[in-house]
Amino acid sequence: MKISYTGKIPKLQPTQEQKLEARFVKLGKLLDRRGEEKDARIILTTVRHLTHAEITANWYDHPFVCTGSDSDVYSAVTKAVDKLEKQVQKQQAKWRDTKRVANKGTEASAPASAEASPEPPEIPERKIYRVNQHSRRKPMTIEEAMLEMEKDRDYMVYRDAETDRLSVLVRRRDGHFDLVEA
């Protein structure tokens, strides 16, 4: 990755320069695809006590521009590189997820074999049943809820008469009941 600086470039410590180079190598791996070497432009400006770093890079004709501000040059550039890495990773994930589509022509163009592959069973469409929440019912006891469940129900949601809280009574597979109180 080619890096070009613009603006007043202060001297950084050697360890800071090495860390920045390592960050740009990592960023270069994200951006450099198909053997093309990308370039990044860093514009440094100082306003009063703040240093602003603006990094501009292109990835498949998609410009990424990130800024970072701090009192230290190294911190400002590091913040901008962090933002740029996040943008690139987000764009790569977005591109990857939208491009993953099954090829429709592969099934038709595949030669028919003597043994037909078993097709997976179709999953029935799941239905959502709306419960009428607006019907005002009187509070029930546990015994009343169990009697109501005898009408071929697996669960019963009711308002408990003693505590005036919402409760759910669920029939287990072994015939016993579970009580969930809110």
What CATH number is attached to the domain comprising 176? 3.30.505.50
Mean confidence (pLDDT) of the chain: 80
User: Tens of pLDDT along 32-82?
Assistant: 766 677 788 888 898 888 989 999 988 777 788 999 999 888 899 999 999
Residue 140 has pLDDT above 90, yes or no: no
Instruction: Among 52, 75, 99, give the residue marking a domain's end.
Output: 99
Task: For the chain, give the secondary structure using H, E and C.
Answer: CEEEEEECCCCCCHHHHHHHHHHHHHHHHHHCCCCCCCEEEEEEEEECCEEEEEEEEEECCEEEEEEEEECCHHHHHHHHHHHHHHHHHHHHHHHHHHHCCCCCHHHHHCCCCCCCCCCCCCCCCCCCCCCCCCCCCCCECHHHHHHHHCCCCCEEEEEECCCCCEEEEEECCCCCEEEEEC
pLDDT of residue 136: 64
Total domains in the fold of the chain: 2
177 in the same domain as 94: no
pLDDT of residue 102: 63
* Residue 60 is assigned to a structural domain of this protein: yes
Task: State pLDDT tens for residues 77-103.
Answer: 999 999 999 988 888 888 778 766 666
Q: Are residues 92 and 44 in the same domain?
A: yes
Whether residue 144 sits in one domain with residue 69: no
Domain that holds residue 175: 135-182
- Of 78, 99, 120, the position where a domain reaches its end is 99
Are residues 92 and 45 both part of a single domain?
yes
pTM: predicted TM-score of the whole model, two decimal places: 0.50
